[in-house]
Amino acid sequence: MSDTPSAAPPPPEDRGPAGTTPVPEQGHAREHGPGPADVPAPTSGAGRETGARSAKASETGAGPAPGTVPVATSVGQAGPPRQRAGATPSGGPVAHGPGGAVAQPPRTPPPPSLGRFAALRPADPSPVTASTLWGVLATGLLSALLLDEGPGPNVLIVAVPAILAASFAARASGRRLRPWTLVWAVGGLALLAVPALNDAGRPTFLALVSALVLTSFALHGGGGWPSILFGPVGLVDSLGAGTSWVWRGVRDRAGASRGRWGPVLRTTGVALVLLVVFGALFAGADAAFADLLGSMIPDASPVQAPWRLSFFLLGIGGAVAVARTAAAPLRWDRTVIAPGRARGRLEWALPLLVMNLLFAAFNAVQLAALFGGYDKVLSETGLTYAQYARQGFWQLLTATLLTLVVIAFALRWAPHSGRRDVSLVRAVLGTFCVPTLVVVASALRRMDLYVDAYGLTRLRVSVAAMEMWLGLVLLLIMVAGVFGARLLSRALAVSAALAVLVFGLVSPDALVAERNVERYDRLGKIDLRYLQGLSADAVPALDELPEPQRSCALKEIEARLREDDGHRYATSRSEARARAILAARGIDPNPGTCVGAVPREDFLPSGQDDPFGAS
């Protein structure tokens, strides 16, 4: 007996209207029993070969269409498919249009594509743990209680439960701590120390933003260019998904532990009552303890309720985004950046060689001026030192930025067909980076001349720090050209974070005050109106001025500190030190005419504006 079932006799045809022959749907035949397409594959040699060809044809879309039956040519072998008369490819009757033309069946549209972003989506995270929920709640409460007075040590305090919530979520999802994750985490915590130490607003803002970026690096864990460039986007993406993730966890745990909420609430209420009663008694018994308690307890007035609610929601949202990202981060490492089309050697190298010649000519002039040729250059141009410095700094800064852009595109389109191409790229780009470093040095030298003539300001400190960091970036690119660029993205991110950290720890306001006080001792010129707008970081340096310049410079800062009687958790170290200095020595409320308080235009050449500003 053959392994192939014998073919059943065909049923009598039931002619329908318009000459069509109704044929059962393929799905209907499979539902009630094996049909022609369900016949087991033959086991003989010819059958196996034919079955393999049929399987290959079905994979490529060239197999028998639905509504066809195989024609038996021999036992265990199927011939080419034959479509039933009057049937459509789907097995149904043929529809005839006007004039007997056969109407084509409607095409099924392809399924919608999820896009490239779907490949970045991780698997669903494990359910949120109780430890993560408590960390999120603690972050929200501390944000509502401590952040309304401004950034200070309170930022570090609020960050602790958020970090714990992220670590609990990552552990529940099976993620391990890696060395670079630890580097980013430590860097973020170090940046949060800037608002705890200094009072200036600009370094604090840069430190907080950089700490958030490093946090995204630590949570995502990638090290390539996509992770470095797009990592912070993952925190925003996790906010929506994290809200539903946390809500499901709260709902499930609330239903499972409904009977345990009563004892917890009763215990919390009793503890609060005891704290209030005994705290009030001790505060009434000792004035020092009352002052300490008053500085530690936040203001709970109804006027602050909207602000505290806003900070509570902000803390909850931030902790949820951090915890959800730690549990299931976006996989930026799956993103592949397609390389650019390689250019020919001459087409790629000629523009860079021309730029090298231009840079060499410019640097020759700069080196001549740098080594004592300024007098000749200035005599030929008719400019002063300050005018010469002011004239070129912004152009040199822009040239440095454009050089980095040119290097990026040159690397993308560089030839890479062999070792000779690699040597060519290294030689040309290395020669291009070296004169750019001379441009950076020339720009910094011009800024130094400008500060000698006009004094130091916050903006001048900022642009000089930016120029120095760009020089460091060029050095890192040159090192990557020699030892490989595998760690270049991480090295640039680390250098940027270190630059922001050093910028904050140095305290630009303190540096500005020190340089201006030194300049007053040397030239007798000082812009007291500008110094009055500095932060509490400048108080130790301004305290060295003689009277009445000292009181003139400090009176505005003292008034701001007196009005802003900040909470202990929002008071930085420099602010506390400034309060102590002003309390110990005081200031003259009526200093009279502030000798040396010359207007800003006296620092400038006639009819010219200060492009560096006074900010």
Whole-number pLDDT of residue 468: 92
d(CA 195, CA 150): 10
Query: Which helix or strand (DSSP H or E) is residue 21 part of?
Result: none
- 566's tokens: 């900040």
Q: What is d(CA 204, CA 210) in angstroms, rounded to the nearest whole number?
A: 10
Task: Please state which of the ranges 35-44, 135-144, 316-325 shows the lowest mean pLDDT.
Answer: 35-44
Spatial contact of 130 and 168, defined as CB atoms under 8 Å apart: no
Which of the pair, 608 or 252, is modelled with greater confidence? 252
Q: What local confidence, expressed as pLDDT, does residue 392 receive?
A: 65
Percent of the chain with pLDDT over 90: 20
Burial class (CB in 10 A: 0-12, 13-18, 19+), 605: middle
Predicted confidence (pLDDT) at residue 102 exceeds the cutoff of 90: no
For position 221, what pLDDT does the model report? 79
Q: Which residues of 234-270 are buried (b: 16+ CB within 10 A; e: fewer)?
A: bbebbeebbeebbeebeeeeeeeeeeeeeeeeeeeee
Q: Residue 356 — pLDDT band, cuts 50, 70, 90?
A: confident
Q: Which pLDDT does position 522 carry in this prediction?
A: 86
Residue 382 Ramachandran class (φ > 0 left, ψ -120 to 50 alpha, else beta): left
- pLDDT-based confidence at residue 280 (cuts at 50, 70, 90): confident
Residue 188, pLDDT score: 93
Amino acid sitting at position 76: G
Tell me the per-residue pLDDT of 434-451, one tens digit each, with 9 for 90 and over: 888 888 888 888 788 778
Q: How far apart are CA 608 and CA 530, in angstroms?
A: 19
Give me 95's structure tokens.
């529809």
* Confidence band of 398 (pLDDT split at 50, 70, 90): confident
Across the range 319-348, mean pLDDT stands at: 83
**Residue 612, pLDDT score:** 43
Q: Mean of the pLDDT values across residues 29-55? A: 42
